[in-house]
C-alpha cells in the first residue's frame, strides 16, 4: 500500500503544475479586468460583456495558448514530468507578455515547484539522453550534486545502495562517453525512425512519441542499477490515465464470478493481457479505433443509403438533391402494414377443421364444448 500511495502522490504533484499556471492567470485577470467581466471556473477564462456575446478575441490578450497546450499535453498517456513546469516557466519569460502577468504566473509556478518532488523532476529531465545536463547551470547543480541526487532517489525508489558501477555509469553518461554516448545508443537513428512513422501517419503521431524508455532498454544489462533507475524514473506518467485503464481492467478480471482471485494474480493477468494487445497491435491483428465524429460531420454508410427506398425526384425541384424523410417514413410504414396484412391472410387460409368442415364464421357464436359441436352438425 505504501508504494501505491507514493505513486499517487507523484502523479498528483505532477498534475498540479497546470492548475498553478491557470490560477496565476485568474489572479491577474481579477486584478486588471473591468468589473463587468468575470472568469469561469473550469480553467477557461472567458470575458463576457453581456448575456449574449462572448468576446473570444480577448483570449489573445491573456495568452491562454501556452497554458491550454500544456493542459492538452498533460492528458496524453505519455506525459512526463520533465517537460511541463520548466516549459511553462520558459514560455512566460517572453517580454511580449505583460510584466505583472508574468510575475504572477512565475510566482504561482514557484509555489508549485516548492511543493513538488524536485529530485524526481530534475532526474526526469537528466535521464533524457537528448538533453542530459545541458539545461542545468553548473552554478546551481554540479556533477556531484546530480550524482548525490540520483543516489538518494535510488535508495528511496529501488531500495538499493548505489555501488561503484553506479557512480562510473553516471560519470560516463554525464560526459557522453563509453556505451552511454550518443553514438553507442544510436540516438539519431531512433529519432529518425519515430519521425518517419509520424510522417507516414500524421493523424496518430501524438500516440507514438519518441520512446525514451525503449532507448534505455536497448543498452540495459543485468544488474545495471543506473539504467534500472533511469527506466523507473522515465516510466512515471504525470496523469492518471494509465492508472484508470489498469483499474478498469482489474474490474473486468475480478468479476462476481471470479471474486476469489488474489491481488497479485489480478495484476499479472492484466499485465499479460496488455502485453498481448501490444503484440497484436504491432503485428497488425488489431484494427485501430477510428476517429469518432458527431453532429454534422457524420456521413451515412453506403449500405445504409442503399437500403433506403429511392424517392421520386422532380427535375424542376431544386430541393430534389436532399432526401425527403417524410416520404421515406411513410414508405416504411406502408411496407410494414403490407407485411402484417399478408401474414394475417396466410394464417386464415391455413386454418381448417379436422373433418374438412369450415369453422363458424366470425358472426356466429362459438360452441361451448365438443358435444355442442356434434349437436350443431
DSSP string, 139-175: TTS-HHHHHHHHHHHHHHHT-----HHHHHHHHHHHT
H-type alpha helices, 201-237 = 212-218, 225-234
Please tell me the predicted confidence (pLDDT) of residue 73: 64
| Residue-wise pLDDT tens digits, 266-310 | 999 999 998 998 888 878 887 766 655 544 444 444 544 454 455
Please tell me the predicted confidence (pLDDT) of residue 236: 81
Nine-digit cell at 127? 535521464
Please tell me the predicted confidence (pLDDT) of residue 357: 45
Contact 132, 29 (CB under 8 A): no
Section 247-254 average pLDDT:
90
Q: What is the Cα 303 distance to its own chain's centre? A: 31
| Residue-wise pLDDT tens digits, 84-143 | 677 778 778 888 878 888 888 888 888 888 888 889 989 988 999 998 998 888 888 999
Residues 6+ apart with CB under 8 A from 303: none
Cα–Cα distance for residue pair 187/190, rounded to 1 Å: 5
CB atoms within 10 A of CB 56: 9
- In the predicted model, is pLDDT for residue 263 greater than 80? yes
Amino acid at each position: 500500500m505504501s508504494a501505491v500511495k507514493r505513486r499517487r502522490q507523484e502523479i498528483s504533484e505532477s498534475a498540479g503544475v497546470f492548475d498553478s499556471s491557470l490560477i496565476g492567470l485568474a489572479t491577474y485577470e481579477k486584478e486588471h479586468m473591468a468589473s463587468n467581466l468575470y472568469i469561469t471556473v473550469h480553467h477557461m477564462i472567458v470575458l463576457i460583456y453581456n448575456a449574449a456575446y462572448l468576446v473570444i478575441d480577448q483570449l489573445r490578450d491573456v495568452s491562454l495558448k501556452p497554458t491550454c497546450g500544456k493542459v492538452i499535453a498533460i492528458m496524453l498517456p505519455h506525459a512526463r514530468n520533465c517537460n511541463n513546469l520548466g516549459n511553462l516557466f520558459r514560455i512566460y519569460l517572453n517580454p511580449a507578455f505583460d510584466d505583472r502577468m508574468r510575475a504572477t504566473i512565475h510566482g504561482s509556478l514557484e509555489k508549485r515547484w516548492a511543493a513538488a518532488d524536485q529530485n524526481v523532476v530534475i532526474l526526469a529531465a537528466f535521464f533524457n539522453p537528448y538533453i542530459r545536463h545541458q539545461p542545468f547551470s553548473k552554478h546551481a547543480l554540479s556533477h556531484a550534486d546530480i550524482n548525490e541526487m540520483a543516489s538518494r532517489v535510488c535508495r528511496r525508489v529501488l531500495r538499493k545502495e548505489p555501488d561503484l558501477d553506479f557512480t562510473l555509469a553516471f560519470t560516463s553518461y554525464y560526459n557522453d562517453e563509453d556505451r552511454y554516448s550518443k553514438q553507442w545508443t544510436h540516438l539519431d537513428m531512433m529519432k529518425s525512425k519515430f519521425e518517419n512513422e509520424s510522417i507516414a501517419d500524421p493523424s496518430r503521431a501524438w500516440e507514438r512519441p519518441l520512446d525514451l524508455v525503449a532507448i534505455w532498454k536497448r543498452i540495459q544489462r543485468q544488474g545495471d542499477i543506473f539504467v534500472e533507475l533511469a527506466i523507473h524514473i522515465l516510466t512515471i506518467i504525470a496523469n492518471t490515465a494509465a492508472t484508470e485503464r489498469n483499474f478498469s481492467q482489474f474490474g473486468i478480471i475480478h468479476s462476481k464470478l471470479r471474486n476469489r482471485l488474489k491481488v497479485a494474480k489480478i495484476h499479472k493477468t492484466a499485465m499479460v493481457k496488455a502485453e498481448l494487445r501490444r503484440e497484436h497491435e504491432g503485428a497488425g491483428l488489431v484494427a485501430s479505433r477510428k476517429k469518432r465524429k458527431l453532429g454534422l460531420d457524420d456521413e451515412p454508410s453506403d449500405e445504409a443509403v442503399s437500403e433506403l427506398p429511392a424517392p421520386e425526384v422532380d427535375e424542376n425541384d431544386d430541393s430534389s438533391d436532399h432526401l425527403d424523410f417524410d416520404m421515406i417514413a411513410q414508405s416504411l410504414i406502408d411496407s410494414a402494414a403490407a407485411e402484417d396484412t399478408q401474414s394475417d391472410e396466410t394464417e386464415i387460409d391455413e386454418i381448417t377443421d379436422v373433418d374438412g368442415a369450415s369453422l363458424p364464421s366470425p358472426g356466429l357464436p362459438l360452441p361451448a364444448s365438443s358435444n355442442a359441436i356434434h349437436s350443431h352438425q
